[in-house]
């Protein structure tokens, strides 16, 4: 028996319940983990509300990131033994492989022995953010030293991961945030420049920073009307990678900017990295190397106890956090 978080209907954070259920042993190819910490992601709030790309089956579990200690392994699993400290690469389905639980089971290929100097909270806060940012900036955009990269929603965990990855490569990360309250924290987190979108003209500020060559890479989680000024500031042949849709306003297609500059506008899900073993292996090596040399360091906004999962989700949806939200067990 173990405690798990489930919900029986779509709704706000209050639909989340902690329930005690039977947890079967791991099947062949699976690893069962005694969870010590969870990393929260916006996707989990979307699943809870019924607006995610995956459909919940009630009663539904949820959760994409966990770190803990291996408790048992299934047949044919030889790379892990009970007692190993591990973290989880986000599964393709959180309904099939939910992480919000005292005991959670995952495919062995998604389990990673994390560096011993990395605590459980940091380990639970790393894979989604760094895989998402790496896949967009390195794997797809081919970010290079000296490139100017504009990062929207920069104070999110993925935005902060993108800043760190850009700095590790030697690119120039420009953080976009809505209010000036986060300007100093973003600079302290490694942003070379900060543009406050509610107070400054985005396009003009980006062109002033990037100069005549413009911004080659834009990593956007927002969409909406900002597409026009963002693409106006891009360099010829530049690429805008869209991985979210936080804006509630329509997103215009910037036809003349795209045509005039031969721009690429590309949708992106981290799943395309996770489901490709070769690309995932390269991403994991880059991230683990960065964690080891401390060029990549997860920033945790706030930590909650497992019993505070409803409050944790309320904080997740407040949009006031700076970095990752972690829940400990």
Over residues 18-75, the pLDDT tens digits come to 999 999 999 999 999 999 999 999 999 999 999 999 999 999 999 999 999 999 999 9
Residue 213: the pLDDT is: 87
Domains of the chain: 2-126+298-328 (3.90.180.10), 129-271 (3.40.50.720)
For 269-316, write each residue's pLDDT tens digit.
Answer: 999 999 999 999 999 999 999 999 999 999 999 999 999 999 999 999
pTM of the full predicted structure? 0.94
Q: What angle do CA 159, 161, 165 make, to 5 degrees?
A: 120
Phi, then psi, of 63 in degrees rounded to 5: 115, 135
Mean pLDDT of 123-143: 97
Given a cut of 80, whether residue 116 has pLDDT beyond it is no
Range 5-9 contact pairs with CB under 8 angstroms and sequence separation of 24 or more: 5/61, 5/62, 5/63, 5/98, 5/100, 5/101, 5/306, 5/309, 6/59, 6/60, 6/61, 6/62, 7/48, 7/56, 7/58, 7/59, 7/60, 7/62, 8/58, 8/59, 8/60, 9/58
Mean pLDDT of 175-181: 93
Could you tell me the two tokens for 63?
Answer: 């959760």
**For the chain, what percent of residues have pLDDT higher than 90?**
93
Confidence of residue 114 (pLDDT cuts 50, 70, 90): confident
Among positive and negative, which fits the CA dihedral 226, 134, 143, 149? Answer: positive
Given a cut of 90, whether residue 209 has pLDDT beyond it is yes
Neighbours of 132 (CB within 10 A): 28
HSE, CB side, 13 Å, CA atoms: give it for residue 122.
15
Residue 319: the pLDDT is: 85
Confidence of residue 253 (pLDDT cuts 50, 70, 90): very high
Given a cut of 80, whether residue 252 has pLDDT beyond it is yes
Residue 86: the pLDDT is: 97
Residue 214: the pLDDT is: 93
Residues 132 and 158: beta-carbon distance below 8 Å: yes
Average pLDDT, the chain: 96
């Amino acid at each position: 028996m173990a405690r798990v978080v489930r919900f029986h209907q779509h709704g706000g954070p209050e639909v989340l319940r902690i329930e005690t259920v039977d947890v079967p042993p791991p099947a062949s190819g699976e690893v069962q983990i005694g969870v010590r910490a969870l990393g929260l992601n916006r996707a989990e709030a979307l699943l809870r509300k019924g607006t995610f790309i995956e459909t919940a089956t009630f009663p539904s579990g949820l959760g994409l990131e966990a770190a803990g200690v291996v408790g048992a392994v299934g047949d044919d699993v030889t790379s892990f033994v009970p007692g190993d400290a591990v973290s989880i690469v986000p599964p393709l389905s959180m309904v099939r492989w939910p992480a919000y639980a005292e005991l959670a089971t995952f495919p062995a290929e998604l389990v990673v022995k994390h560096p011993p100097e990395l605590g459980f909270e940091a380990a639970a806060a790393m894979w989604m953010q760094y895989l998402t940012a790496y896949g967009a900036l390195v794997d797809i955009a081919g970010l290079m030293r000296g490139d100017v990269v504009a990062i929207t929603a920069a104070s999110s965990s993925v935005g902060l991961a993108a800043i760190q990855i850009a700095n590790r490569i030697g690119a120039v990360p420009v953080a976009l945030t809505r209010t000036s309250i986060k300007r100093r924290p973003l600079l302290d987190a490694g942003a070379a420049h900060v543009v406050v979108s509610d107070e400054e003209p985005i396009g003009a500020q980006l062109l002033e920073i990037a100069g005549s060559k413009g911004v080659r890479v834009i990593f956007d989680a927002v969409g909406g009307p900002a597409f026009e000024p963002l693409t106006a500031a891009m360099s010829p042949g530049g690429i805008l990678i869209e991985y979210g849709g936080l804006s509630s306003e329509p997103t215009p297609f910037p036809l003349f900017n795209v045509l005039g500059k031969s721009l690429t506008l590309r949708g992106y899900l981290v799943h395309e990295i996770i489901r490709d073993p070769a690309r995932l292996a390269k991403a994991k090596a880059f991230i683990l190397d960065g964690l080891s040399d401390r060029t990549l360091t997860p920033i945790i906004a706030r930590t909650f106890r497992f019993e505070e999962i409803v409050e944790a989700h309320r904080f997740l949806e407040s949009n006031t956090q700076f970095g990752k939200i972690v829940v400990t067990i």
